[in-house]
Structure 1
Amino acid sequence: MSTNPSPAASEQLCYQNVTGSCAKAPYSPGPRLILYTLFSLAAVLAVFGNLLVVISILHFKQLHSPTNFLIASLACADFLVGVTVMPFSMVRSVEGCWYFGASFCSLHSCFDVAFCYSSLFHLCFISIDRYIAVTEPLVYPTKFTVSVSGTCIGISWILPLVYSGAVFFTGVHDDGLEELVSALSCVGGCRPLINQFWILIDLLLFVTPTFVMMVLYSNIFLVARKQAIKIENIGSKTEASGTYKTRVSKRERKAAKTLGITVVAFLISWLPYMIDSFIDSFGGVVTPSYVYEILCWFAYYNSAVNPLIYALFYPWFRRAVKLIISGQVLKDSSSTISLEHL
């Protein structure tokens, strides 16, 4: 019996005339074009939107603050998702094939996991920053300094990169799953299997910062509500020092609300994927490929959403983007331009 596929079947394989090739996704030209458009849009938004965030914060001196440095570093993680993860995942999702080699599959998975956890750790540190800013607005500048922010940024990058590299480049992620890997593997596939031990570690790394953020933001909004009541009671009788404190409190609460929305968007995007990974690990990969890809892109889109959130809620970001796009940032002393409504 011949091992070569028939011509009709060969058209549906990732690699024609290769024994053990994965089957291509059965999309017709119309749906294929729609999918490429949607996924390309996400990648473009993630790359250029987050690039604008980074340039805005690093260029304009008025935006140089511990919180904004954390936001810029978070944008870097989302930017790298758009550059190193989305384009290759797009081809895998639409074509149903991985054309970039087994080694890059491991690297791609490493980037995917590392940048996800990097974003999560950044958001956790931002929630700590906002908690201090709202509960102690007058002493906050002495507690959360630029050096403290830099330490948080370093942790948010080093730990995820070391963890994901150790898991995927040592091959421990599929220990004990050799039979399942052999049964599901094919030429042109890239869907790494994670054993139960590492899935539990993943969930712990995901749930712990998430729990911290939920507790902190709950307290933030309770404090903000109390402050709002006090401000209403003070009214026009507020003295000069009280007026300053009130202004600071309002600014910090507004920033906390915006970043709280960012946290909620992250959790909504990534939680379905994490739950599905848990189910697959303990249920033997029961999720169909197309559902897996949908959940992946639901998570990837989070990297494109964050700049849109900033554009909606941060007047300084809208102002900075206008200056960047108009080319005014190329002028001398543009870094000292005052961004109104900061």
Structure 2
Amino acid sequence: MSDNSSLLRVSNASLLPPLVDWTPPTFTPAAQARVAATMVLFVFAAISNLALLISVSRGRGRRLASHLRPLILSLASADLMMTFVVMPLDMVWNVTVQWYAGDGLCKLLCFLKLFAMQTSAFILVVISLDRHHAILRPLDSLNAHRRNRRMLLTAWILSALIASPQLFIFRTVKAESEDFTQCVTHGSFHERWQETAYNMFHFVTLYVIPLLVMSCCYTCILIEINRQLHKSQEGESLRRSGTDMIPKARMKTLKMTVIIVMSFVVCWTPYYLLGIWYWFQPDMVKVTPEYIHHLLFVFGNLNTCCDPVIYGLFTPSFRADLARCCRCRPPADSPRSLDRLSARHESDPPKAT
């Protein structure tokens, strides 16, 4: 993606005239505030996601069901890619304004940035598909571990393939009248509609398709839960409430993933809407305050901090690991709700009624 919304103040379009009689951008107060806010998010996201990764791989989080652990590990890994690739690149680029790292790093870092964003979205899709199978096809839970690994591998490979054009369309361009070099897509497209189509393709793969798949999965889940509630009320099943018809750990995991998906939608929707507006009406940059562009991108990065917080709220084992690292007394209650219960119930098909 050309990342027009985060670099609106620099020349990043393919059809602009030669960079003559052009005033280079500066490190404005709005950009300074963006860098400061991104630095805060970077510190919090790095600490929280690293803690989550350690907890699930070596701490009490290992009690999670075997098919759930790769999902959480992949989500934390994708968030760490966003943290250590997207955020530092954004901060340094805003401070320097122009590009000093050469043509090779221009291509590589733009590829890694899109790869990180794409992977983060696709892993949420995999998590949604896993919850869909867990609720609607509980008898297939014995194959969940193998199925999830295949879906995760597909997500990582597909993300790399989709991001690969970045290696070819981004390049360093030097202004003719100023000592100014920028990493842009200038000259990579013959017509403006081609660049718009390229950006729209990534908008669809980064946001539209993941949103549609996740919405479809959770809509089907809600329909199934509602159907089971009606069956319970009509006496067609054992005497138990509708929520008890689904194991408590599975239901709690479902609630956690729904909130994680909602945080993704809330954080990134304004950023992508701004991008669409810019792609079809480039003059909007003249009428929209600069701080709006910076604020929306920072708000999108907030999603990277939300995932470990949401996981911690639903997982006592993660909180216990954090307490132990801080040399605090672990919580009095034993961390079972999403850990031991999950390991016992997620992998066992429900008994026939």
TM-score range, shorter chain: 0.7 to 0.9
Helix, strand or coil: the match of 2:284? coil
Q: Which stretch of the first structure deviates more once superposed, 103-112 or 126-135?
A: 103-112
The structure, 1 or 2, with the larger RCO (C-alpha pairs under 8 Å, 6+ apart) is 2
Cα distance in structure 1, aligned partners of 2:233 and 2:179 = 66
Deviation at 1:212, TM superposition (A): 1.2
Aligned AA (1:24) = T
Name 1:48's counterpart in structure 2: 47
The aligned runs of 1:249-268 (5 Å cut-off) are 249-268=247-266
1-structure distance, mates of 2:97, 2:44: 24
Residue pairs, 1:49-68, within 5 angstroms: 49-59=48-58, 60=60, 61-68=62-69
**1:101 corresponds to which residue?**
101
Distance (whole Å) between structure 1 residues aligned to residue 100 and residue 134 of structure 2: 46
Cα distance in 1 for residues equivalent to 2:67 and 2:227:
26
The Cα of 1:302 is off from its aligned counterpart by 0.9
Structure 2: 5+ residue stretches without partners:
1-20, 187-193, 339-353
Q: 1:190 to 1:227 in 2, by over 3 A?
A: farther
Which amino acid is 1:72 matched to?
A: L
Letter in 1 for 2:274: D
- 1:1-342 equivalences under 5 Å are 22-27=24-29, 32=32, 35-59=34-58, 60=60, 61-93=62-94, 95=95, 97-103=97-103, 104-137=105-138, 139-144=139-144, 146-164=145-163, 166-171=164-169, 187=180, 189-190=182-183, 192=185, 195-205=195-205, 206-228=207-229, 238=239, 246=244, 248-284=246-282, 286-287=284-285, 290-326=291-327, 339-342=335-338
What letter corresponds to residue 154 of structure 1 in structure 2? Answer: L
TM-score, normalised with respect to structure 2: 0.72
Give the Å deviation of 1:324: 4.3
1:94-120 Cα distance to aligned partner (Å, 9 max, x none): x37145424333333222211111111
TM-aligned CA distance change 1:282 to 1:255, over 3 Å: same
- Tell me how far apart the structure 2 counterparts of residues 248 and 233 of structure 1 sit (CA, whole Å): 17
RMSD of equivalent CA atoms: 3.6
User: Aligned partners of 1:220, 1:92: CA distance in 2, in Å?
Assistant: 43
Change (3 A) 1:192 1:64: farther
Going from structure 1 to structure 2, the CA distance change for 1:222 and 1:315 (only over 3 Å counts) comes to farther
Aligned partners of 1:186, 1:68: CA distance in 2, in Å? 51
The structure in which a higher percent of residues are helix is 1
Identity %: 23
Query: What runs of 5+ residues in structure 1 fail to find an aligned partner?
Result: 1-18, 329-337
- In the superposition, relative to structure 1, how do residues 65 and 298 fare at CA in structure 2: closer, same or farther (>3 Å)? same
| Amino acid in structure 1 at the alignment position of 2:149 | G
Residue 228 of structure 1: CA displacement?
4.9
Q: Distance in 1 between matches of 2:185 and 2:210?
A: 24
Residue 320 of structure 1, CA deviation = 3.1
Q: 1:258: Cα distance to partner?
A: 1.2
Mapped to 1, the partners of 2:130 and 2:314 lie a distance apart of 18
Following the alignment from structure 1 to structure 2, what is the Cα–Cα distance between the partners of residues 152 and 200?
A: 25
